[in-house]
Amino acid sequence: MKPILTLLLGILCISCQDTINSPYTNNVISSAHPLSSKAGKQMYALGGNAFDAAVAAGFTLAVVEPSMSGLGGRLQAIYHLKEGTIGGVDASTQVPKNYIPNNEKHAHGYTTIGIPGVVAGLVKLQEEHGLLSLEQVLQPAIDYAEKGFNLLPGEALRQQSELEILSKYEGTRYHFLTSENKTYSEGSLFIQKDLADLLRKIAKEGKAGFYEGEIAENMVYDIQQNGGLLTLEDLKDYKALDSEVLTGEFQSAQVYSLFLPSYGAITIQILQILDHISPFNSEEEWATTLGKVTDFAYSYRQYQKDNDSLTNIISYDKAKEWAYQLQEENLQKVAYNEELPASWTAAMGHTTHLTTADKFGNIVSLTQTIGPNMGSKVATKGLGFLYAVTLGGYLGEYKPGDRSNSHISPTLFLKDGKVILALGAAGGSRIVTAVTQVAHRILNQKKELNEALMLPRIYPVNDTIWIEDHDGIQHLNADLNPVNEPIKFINQKASFGRVHAISFDSINKKWIGAADPDWEGTVEIVENK
């Protein structure tokens, strides 16, 4: 008995020492679905860190929120290691090698499918930085797929809205429609046994369990039989990559966001221009100025790949020039040189986001998507997940081997080497605006995290500023005068981005989490013991 007792005492001492050395008093996760937040909390209870929590939540979101993300989608994440290193993961979907660019436009179907990235991205995060096994972090997702879960109202509504298109594809009908050829209703128990089997295979075999062998063969056969392009070589060669991290400055904090395929450069550009503008005298001035700055920065979206343009986009000194031009009413947008992708003007955004932070100072801000809603609308029978849209023009035009760009923009803010704010958003082209406006509310206006997420947001559409104005926040809007500026109030929830964020309470050395009030997500906290 003595050796066992000694071992137990040793583990206890290590655990106590870890708690004593912890610079923070808690672990936290904020995500877009209650079950994914609970999955993250489970990982903390098992002794996992922020990476384990993020990966468990990411796989769970792929099960419980299939309209927004899934194993067939793409992922971008930025992270901060407890030692201070900042990095990122690029697991965006990729264009197959045998793709021939053409002018045909497809909003859904097999011809829109590229190489999925989510599985590779989540596995990379966990294997490189997690403490638990892959089997442990995948168990919550496996359980929810195997035993089922009750569909939330929002998820049921999003699936129902695509019924006509979902009915066109055999595999999608099999996995997502009832025997009466209807979508599952709110509160229905949604069981996905084939998806559970696939997740078990990933848990045992890692990345290869998805990108090679039987699963890969099933994907390729189904897609090629129906006019798609994916090959076994495409899948086997796919890798989640280390992202290029961009830096900027805002309110004396260092801003870290991701280069393409993420739009972190545009996020930094907006924030740095705002940093050179005098404090706003009114909410109307805030709304109209944010609209003008965003409209200007968005005109640079096509130019991020050009090195000279990128240098200007993220230059703090150049931002000062642009701020002056704005105040002098002489700010000129750059011209678009091609047709705008459909995703830039879509009326309703998509995607899902989660943010985690642990007691040691590890932080993960992760966004994943199959965008648009329900992705390509295609699922392979026997696998159970939907593929993202990559081809067909929705995200723009690409060459073989390219990775699809999107407005995804997970972002970190640091002062004195410590993370003070970590956030990201869902919502298509509204992602960057949601991130920048919430960050401005917190760091410039000194709002508390929950209030910052609740306050109205804006979005520029042509020459008009759209302002969020749905039930629940109408009393928070200032008395804006449409005569002074072209303004349109939008009475629609969840259409201005959905933010899930974490900030740092320096007095109590505590992480504060907040979930977007327009969505169905939650925050889970695990206090140090």
In terms of DSSP H, where are the helices of 384-470?
431-443, 449-454
The predicted structure's pLDDT at residue 483: 67
What lies within 8 Å, CB to CB, of 36 at 6+ separation is 56, 57, 58, 60, 61, 64, 65, 354, 521
Q: CA of 505: how far to CAs of 19, 355, 366, 527, in Å?
A: 18, 16, 21, 14
CA angle centred on 406, ends 138 and 151, rounded to 5° = 45
The answer to whether 294 and 433 have CB atoms below 8 angstroms apart is yes
Q: What are phi and psi of 473, to 5 degrees?
A: -125, 0
Residue type at position 467? I
Q: Which region, left, alpha or beta, applies to residue 173 given φ > 0 means left and ψ of -120 to 50 means alpha?
A: alpha
Q: Is the predicted pLDDT of residue 518 greater than 80, yes or no?
A: yes
Q: Mean pLDDT over residues 8-14, rounded?
A: 42
Between residues 465 and 102, which one has the greater pLDDT?
Answer: 465
Give per-residue pLDDT as tens, 227-238: 999 999 999 999
Q: How far apart are CA 302 and CA 305, in angstroms?
A: 8
Give per-residue pLDDT as tens, 349-375: 689 999 999 999 999 999 999 989 999
When mean pLDDT is compared across 121-135, 343-357, 461-475, the lowest value belongs to 343-357
Q: Per the structure block, which two tokens stand in for 230? A: 């994916």
- If pLDDT is split at 50, 70 and 90, which confidence band does 199 have? very high
The answer to whether 291 and 465 have CB atoms below 8 angstroms apart is yes
Q: What are phi and psi of 59, to 5 degrees?
A: -65, -35
The residue assigned the tokens 């925050």 is 523
DSSP state of 131: S
Q: What ranges make up the beta strands (E) of 187-226?
A: 189-190
Cis peptide leading into residue 517 (ω within 30°): no
Q: Mean pLDDT over residues 402-419, rounded?
A: 96
